Amino acid sequence: MDDGCARDLDGRYASSSLKEWFEQLASGKGRCCSDTDGEAVADSDWDSRDGHYRVRLNGDWIDVPDDAVIRGSNRAGRTIVWPLNSLDGLGIRCFIPGSMS
């Protein structure tokens, strides 16, 4: 994924036009790229109902916490999720919806 996240260890995204945008992304849970890389999500693996999102990760549907949703324009265009592994299990640090096609 050409996202230019902060964990660009080998420098392959250093010249991405979206690098700075990705590096400043944050949700109510904190910065997104500073701790983990985002993953592009296929349209069939996310949806919205009653103003809330959910996403399929590792075969399971997970509700996206409201404070994990990034508000504003999505310059990448595609849906991206930043999973968060914790002692409580798999969660979501950040989520930015794309446009379903």
Q: Given pLDDT bands bounded at 50, 70 and 90, which one contains residue 42?
A: very high
CA dist 16 → 6, 20, 25, 80 (Å): 12, 8, 15, 17
Q: What is the mean pLDDT of residues 21-35?
A: 83
What pTM did the predictor assign? 0.79
Domain for residue 10, yes or no? no
Residue 14 CA to residue 20 CA, distance in Å, equals 10
Task: Give the structural domain span for 74.
Answer: 19-96
pLDDT of residue 7: 47
The token duo for 28 is 């109510």
Q: Per residue in 52-79, pLDDT tens?
A: 999 999 899 999 999 999 998 898 889 9
Instruction: Provide, rounded to the nearest whole percent, the portion of the chain with pLDDT above 70.
Output: 80
Query: What is the CATH classification number for the domain harbouring 30?
Result: 2.40.50
Query: Total domain count for the chain?
Result: 1
